[in-house]
Amino acid sequence: MLRTSGAVAAVGLLVGAAAAPAPVAAQEFPTSAVYDQPLFPDVNPSFRLRVAYLDPPNPFLANEHAQCIVFKNVIERGTQGDVFVECFPSGALGNEVAMIEQAEIGAIQAFIVAEGAVPSFFPEVQVLALPYAFRDHAHAYHVLDGPFGQELKAAILEASDFRVLALAENGGFRNFTSNRPLRSADDIQGQSFRTMNHPGHMAIVNALGGSATPIPWPELYTSLETGVIDGQENPVPVINFGRLYEVQDYLILDGHVYSLDFMFMPEDFFQSLPEAYQELVLKAGQQSAVVARGINRILEWEALARFERDGSFREIIVPTAEEKVVFAERTQAPFLEWYHSAVDPDQVWSTKLMEAIEAADAHFRGDRGF
């Protein structure tokens, strides 16, 4: 059984034509070309740039790998091979904590992590988990690519000596799934949901009356299958990638948090590069973020179309604007209360974010409706 609103129907119209032919099997795509080999093998490079991340080496299914491929090509071609960029996918150099530690000692020169890893060295970043802050992707891009995003990058650099090369995307907006019905904010009450080990995400679940349980990603599928938890929250591409629809019956596209990936470079390595190479690195990071966002939109639309076509969930619910207001009213104040008491007592970053959101509202000539 599939319950849809006009919004889901609109998604179907957008992607239905593309989804009509049988989709090309993922294994028919090449994993990627020369992501670990130099593009100019006859050149002896002056710099080696190792990039670590968790995604598998398939740029058609994994946005972090697509990011690294673009980053590599822009830099190696721009320097004619004088900088060799080597991509290390699939956690080859360790988990996110290990990546941060290796970057601190200069063992790797760049890394891509989800937002859940960033509070360990810049806790204020958790303001970006303010629930229902962004009404759509363009709204989020306007805030993150504008003055607020630049100020955030500068603050992270000052606090950590990690330069943000890209504010990319970890799948887009996060949504709830469960083995128990999810049709409104009331249905979160009494259910247990896996979150990342991110206090902000946990605060959202708890504010809705649920029980937030941080569980590592590799353990999530089994935890859902065995009933250790009722549900979880993730963006649509991540739900699809993890095949969570096999062990979940209900999906509500509430979009409570816009989920980010950060690409970082240790500042000492950045400063060791010639000025022209520094500019190229910044350009490559920016281009990689655009690619990651685009890959995620394709993955999201394809997954939604397939979920509907295959009946992957018993129900897929798209809340109305009025229903999303209820979600926001129940979560924003408790989230900010937690954030101000635990992270930002002077309300510096929450004020900056709200001002940026208001500017984005004005830019798009819209109110805070969804």
Mean pLDDT of 25-45: 71
Domain count, the chain: 2
Mean pLDDT of 154-168: 98
- Give the per-residue pLDDT at 68: 97
What the block records as the tokens of 366 is: 């819209």
Question: Is the predicted pLDDT of residue 12 greater than 70, yes or no?
Answer: no
Residues 43 and 166 in one domain: yes
Question: Is the predicted pLDDT of residue 8 greater than 50, yes or no?
Answer: no
Q: What is the dihedral of CA 10, 19, 178, 205, to 10 degrees?
A: -60
Least confident of 182-186, 196-200, 295-299: 196-200
Question: Is the predicted pLDDT of residue 59 greater than 60, yes or no?
Answer: yes
For residue range 347-360, list pLDDT tens digits in order.
999 999 999 999 99
- Give the per-residue pLDDT at 279: 99
Amino acid at site 200: G
Residues 60 and 160 in one domain: yes
Least confident of 17-26, 204-213, 256-265: 17-26
Beta-sheet strands, E only, within the chain: 47-52, 83-88, 110-114, 162-167, 172-178, 192-195, 211-214, 231-235, 250-252, 258-259, 261-266, 315-317
Residues 189 and 313 in one domain: yes
Note down the domain range covering 30.
Answer: 25-123+133-171+261-299
Residues 210 and 359 in one domain: yes
Residues 95 and 209 in one domain: no
The CATH number assigned to the domain holding 211 equals 3.40.190.170
Cα separation, 153 vs 11, in Å, equals 34
Answer yes or no: is 128 within a domain.
no
Rounded to the nearest 5 percent, the helix, strand and coil shares of the chain are 50, 15, 35
What the block records as the tokens of 8 is: 């889901």
For residue range 129-139, list pLDDT tens digits in order.
999 999 999 99
341 vs 35, more confident: 341
Share of the chain above pLDDT 90, in %: 85
Answer yes or no: is 200 within a domain.
yes
Question: Is the predicted pLDDT of residue 26 greater than 80, yes or no?
Answer: no
pTM for this structure?
0.88
Least confident of 30-34, 43-47, 56-60: 30-34
**How far is C-alpha 329 from the geometric centre of its chain's CA atoms?**
24
- Give the per-residue pLDDT at 170: 93
Residues 101 and 200 in one domain: no
In 3D space, the residue among 111, 129, 102 whose CA is nearest the CA of residue 204 turns out to be 129
For residue range 77-88, list pLDDT tens digits in order.
999 999 999 999
Cα separation, 198 vs 204, in Å, equals 10
Residues 33 and 155 in one domain: yes
For residue range 232-286, list pLDDT tens digits in order.
999 999 999 999 999 999 999 999 999 999 999 999 999 999 999 999 999 999 9
Residues 102 and 200 in one domain: no
Across the chain, what does the average pLDDT equal? Answer: 91
- Give the per-residue pLDDT at 14: 34
Residues 356 and 320 in one domain: yes
Q: What is the band of 367 on the pLDDT scale with cuts at 50, 70, 90?
A: low
For residue range 315-333, list pLDDT tens digits in order.
999 999 999 999 999 999 9
Amino acid at site 61: L
Residues 158 and 272 in one domain: yes
Mean pLDDT of 21-47: 68
Answer yes or no: is 19 within a domain.
no
